[in-house]
């Protein structure tokens, strides 16, 4: 998770109220509108699931996948594999296309796979956190419509940090989390479901096999009826509302530009140290950078010492990048020039001593 803004922490500390209290019901509506703004969508079904981002992910799959449905997953990192695994647990016939970590899919590759497999759904990772890759989206939604597929987009590490236009791109469903670019602690999983996906829900021939994540039930609580479904984490919603308010106050364009500007400052600093970046610049994710660990350096031990001795955390590689890269996040409140400058200074000092 990224550091939470002090105003978010203050909101979390407010006295709790009941999950059907009129003040909380009003707050629910505010959260929904602010999420629509952040995603650039008018989707009616836009809610924060009372669980982490992985539950938001599962919400999308549980509600739209029925046994035997063909689900096409584009895998170019650790989280693409997770999407395939999750879909298979709901009985989908999962087919996959693959790219090496550090690369993205072309529109032609996606369209060819849609034509070959004629899936009910296409799953894409917009910001592959394990690799630091940003998937280009131009034309993907149109391709899905030509082939009758719903488009599910993972925006866990992109919501609030990079340009994101769900309605313009023709994205049918998306999910995210509270703790990355939104700078709120983990605990809520935003989900948005568009009209085509809503129609798919209504045409199901079997009951959604997960009561807690059944959107037909959740929508009664988050819709105009406000029918009791579960005890929502009231204070987490206080925090998320404040985080989204801060994003709206800054403005999406300004937030996107800030993330890009600080990422470029980081990339320049890493290059000045002679370090190699794992992803070519046109596909590089501004919110998370993968940098190759220098030869002769124990990457895991180096990262642990940096955290223990300096209070600065960088991640290690996942999947095929395990042991090969560090993952440096600049998300939300952490995307600041002073953080980049401090990290580059520490890397310069400590790498000189390590080799």
Query: Which pLDDT band, with edges at 50, 70 and 90, does 224 fall under?
Result: confident
Tokens 């959740």 identify what position?
A: 218
- pLDDT tens digits, residue range 32-86? 999 999 999 999 999 999 999 999 999 999 999 999 999 999 999 999 999 999 9
Q: How far apart are CA 346 and CA 274, in angstroms?
A: 14
Q: What is the pLDDT of residue 145?
A: 98
Q: Is the pLDDT of residue 355 over 80?
A: no
Strand-pair partners of 72? 95, 122
Q: Is the pLDDT of residue 228 over 90?
A: yes
- With 0.95 as the threshold, say if the pTM is over it: yes
Residue 342: phi and psi, rounded to 5, are -65, -45
Chain mean position to CA 45: 18
**Tokens encoding 111:** 């369209």
Q: How far apart are CA 198 and CA 292, in angstroms?
A: 43
**Tokens encoding 189:** 């999983």
CATH architecture of 6-249: 3-Layer(aba) Sandwich (3.40)
Whole-number mean pLDDT of the chain? 97
323: left (phi over 0), alpha (psi -120 to 50) or beta: left
Alpha helices in the chain (DSSP H): 6-12, 22-39, 53-64, 78-89, 107-117, 140-146, 166-169, 195-202, 215-222, 234-250, 252-272, 299-310, 337-354
Q: Do residues 123 and 72 make contact, with C-beta atoms less than 8 angstroms apart? A: yes
CATH number assigned to the domain covering 252-354: 3.90.1150.10
Residue range(s) of every CATH 3.90.1150.10 domain in the chain: 252-354
Q: Is the pLDDT of residue 8 over 80?
A: yes
Q: Do residues 306 and 314 make contact, with C-beta atoms less than 8 angstroms apart? A: yes
Residues 6+ positions from 345 with CB-CB distance below 8 Å: none
Residue range(s) of every CATH 3.40.640.10 domain in the chain: 6-249
């Amino acid at each position: 998770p990224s550091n939470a803004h002090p105003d978010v922490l203050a909101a979390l500390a407010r006295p709790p109220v009941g999950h059907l209290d009129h003040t909380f019901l009003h707050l629910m509506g505010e959260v929904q509108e602010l999420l629509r703004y952040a995603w650039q969508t008018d989707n009616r079904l836009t809610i924060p699931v009372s669980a982490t981002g992985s539950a938001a992910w599962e919400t999308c799959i549980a509600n739209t996948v029925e046994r035997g449905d063909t689900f096409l997953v584009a895998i170019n990192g650790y989280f693409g594999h997770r999407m395939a695994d999750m879909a298979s647990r709901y009985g989908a016939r999962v087919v996959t296309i693959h790219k090496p970590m550090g690369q993205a899919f072309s529109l032609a590759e996606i369209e060819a796979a849609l034509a070959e497999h004629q899936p009910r759904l296409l799953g894409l990772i917009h910001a592959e956190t394990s690799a630091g890759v940003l998937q280009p989206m131009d034309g993907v939604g149109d391709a899905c419509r030509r082939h009758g597929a719903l488009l599910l987009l993972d925006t866990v590490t992109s919501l609030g940090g990079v340009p994101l236009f769900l309605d313009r791109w023709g994205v049918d469903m998306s999910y995210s989390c509270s703790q990355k670019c939104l700078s709120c602690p983990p605990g809520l999983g935003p989900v948005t479901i568009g009209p085509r996906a809503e129609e798919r829900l209504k045409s199901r021939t079997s009951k959604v096999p997960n009561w807690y994540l059944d959107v037909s039930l959740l929508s009664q609580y988050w819709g105009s009826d406000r029918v009791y479904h579960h005890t929502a984490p009231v204070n987490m919603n206080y925090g998320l509302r404040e985080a989204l308010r801060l994003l709206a106050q800054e403005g999406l364009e300004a937030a996107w530009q800030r993330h890009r500007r600080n990422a470029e400052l980081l990339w320049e600093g890493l290059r000045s140290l002679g370090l190699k970046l794992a992803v070519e610049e046109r596909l590089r994710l501004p919110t998370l950078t993968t940098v190759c660990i220098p030869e002769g350096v124990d990457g895991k031990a180096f990262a642990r010492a940096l955290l223990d001795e300096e209070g600065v955390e960088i991640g290690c590689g996942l999947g095929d990048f395990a042991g090969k890269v560090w993952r440096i996040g600049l998300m939300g409140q952490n995307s600041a020039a002073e953080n980049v400058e401090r990290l580059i200074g520490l890397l310069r000092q400590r790498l000189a001593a390590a080799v």
